[in-house]
Structure 1
């Protein structure tokens, strides 16, 4: 006990940075918990709408107050599935924004790093939502299946928001100082590689140097490389020719 007290007496000042880190983590978990709670409320509301629409379709009177989901019920309303598809696709589009945009990958590298716990959780939620997604809004599915898909889309949305928030907080802080300098050079070179005012040769050189700087730091997907190469290779607009009248 005495050595511990001696250590604390010597390094008492460490309590302040530790408290700061703990406070930041507590705020992030509080935000995540609040967002999950809001999502659960939204899920319950949608489930109530689902049951109400299903009862109405059967010609039965609507029940007032809280609704208990009957997991043996028949086909779910098409409009709810349509809404869920739209939300599912929107989340996926936001994720692809990071996966296919090299500038965003460099700015927020954690978002494409499956080793990050929150990103790994998002990818698992995505896999679950994709697996539970019905083939179409007209598919012959039960209310239980729709309910499970609704929960999965909700978890997918929350997991993405949490992973994105953390990636924007981290930025390039997980890299060493030399690695951060390489990322910065890659970001500057990328601007040249997609600059329509640069010559094709300049863009090609800049593109090659971007790939060299990112090698070993960020793994670009084949799709991201394809998108970038199209941007680098697109034709440079020829300057408009000004026709002057001939002099006599």
Structure 2
């Protein structure tokens, strides 16, 4: 509605401008003729200059106005396009940052079940990658990696962002479902003997984490912990590395080899262990 009204106003203004330019040209022509008569006393035939002034000047004036108007409109449209592209790029970058932040938060939340021995003892089902509920978490995490690889190959466009967002949503749902499932199961799927071993493992872990424990108590607790978990919970290598590092720290033993130089111990991905 407003655009149509603006076009009508522009056309009317152009017509009025042309009329005004024509009137100015006619008046100018008349003034030139009067000056010619006053100076020479001869009102002979109109000069070529006078003819051009009457018929060419309005056309040139209108053409200049049109060119100026089109130039301003094209320039403003181009500037608006640049602003829109910058705004779209900034919004897309912010969207990717939020998406990666949510992904990282979920991955950290999942990693606790691979590094926190206490959580593994309390919720042993989270270490069973053959369980369909837990397996869905692994599959969803693989979907995130596939979407990220596609984003690297094709660029961070709308399609890649939508696919990664869908993968992160799936991972979040799978992880939330698995956590609720693990809390509901607890240790109920274990036998009495296995639950007794996990209770012993929990006591041993408390001793290892107790800074007041003696070196002999920590050493015995570490052996008891590994023995109690054997056959019940398969500790991921990341959890074993953290547990060993903490135990050696409590025993006052400096790590050797790659751990001494700060190089990380190689780990096995959950998907590989589940395969």
Same fold (TM over 0.5): yes
- Distance in 2 separating the partners of 1:230 and 1:181: 26
TM-aligned CA distance change 1:147 to 1:75, over 3 Å: farther
Pairwise CA distance, 1:131: 1.8
Pairwise CA distance, 1:99: 0.8
- Distance in 2 separating the partners of 1:94 and 1:132: 20
Q: 1:217 aligns to what?
A: 232
Secondary structure of the residue that 1:234 maps to in structure 2? helix
What are structure 1's unaligned runs of at least 5 residues? 1-55, 63-73, 238-248
- Distance in 1 separating the partners of 2:86 and 2:142: 37
Please give the per-residue CA displacement for 1:17-44, whole angstroms capped at 9, x wherever unaligned: xxxxxxxxxxxxxxxxxxxxxxxxxxxx
Q: 2:106 aligns to what?
A: 91
TM-aligned CA distance change 1:90 to 1:194, over 3 Å: same
Q: Is the 8 A contact 1:76 1:143 kept in 2?
A: no
Report the number of matched residues. Answer: 170
Of structures 1 and 2, the one scoring higher in RCO (CA 8 A, sep 6+) is 1
Name the one with the larger helix percent.
Answer: 2
Secondary structure of the residue that 2:155 maps to in structure 1? coil
Q: 1:50 aligns to what?
A: none
Work out which of the residue numbers 167, 182, 206 in structure 1 matches 2:197.
182
TM-aligned CA distance change 1:59 to 1:104, over 3 Å: closer
Work out which of the residue numbers 180, 192, 198 in structure 2 matches 1:165.
180
Q: Is the 8 A contact 2:137 2:175 kept in 1?
A: yes
- Distance in 2 separating the partners of 1:206 and 1:231: 12
- Distance in 1 separating the partners of 2:205 and 2:96: 41
- Structure number, greater radius of gyration: 2
Work out which of the residue numbers 238, 245, 248 in structure 2 matches 1:233.
248
Pairwise CA distance, 1:236: 7.2
TM-aligned CA distance change 1:76 to 1:123, over 3 Å: farther
Pairwise CA distance, 1:76: 7.8
TM-aligned CA distance change 1:174 to 1:236, over 3 Å: same
TM-aligned CA distance change 1:57 to 1:204, over 3 Å: farther
Please give the per-residue CA displacement for 1:34-88, whole angstroms capped at 9, x wherever unaligned: xxxxxxxxxxxxxxxxxxxxxx84489x9xxxxxxxxxxx998111111111111
- Distance in 1 separating the partners of 2:246 and 2:184: 29
TM-aligned CA distance change 1:236 to 1:57, over 3 Å: farther
Indicate the RMSD between aligned Cα atoms, in angstroms.
Answer: 2.8
What are structure 2's unaligned runs of at least 5 residues? 1-82, 253-275
| TM-score between the two structures when normalised by the length of structure 2 | 0.57
- Distance in 2 separating the partners of 1:106 and 1:172: 8
TM-aligned CA distance change 1:164 to 1:231, over 3 Å: same
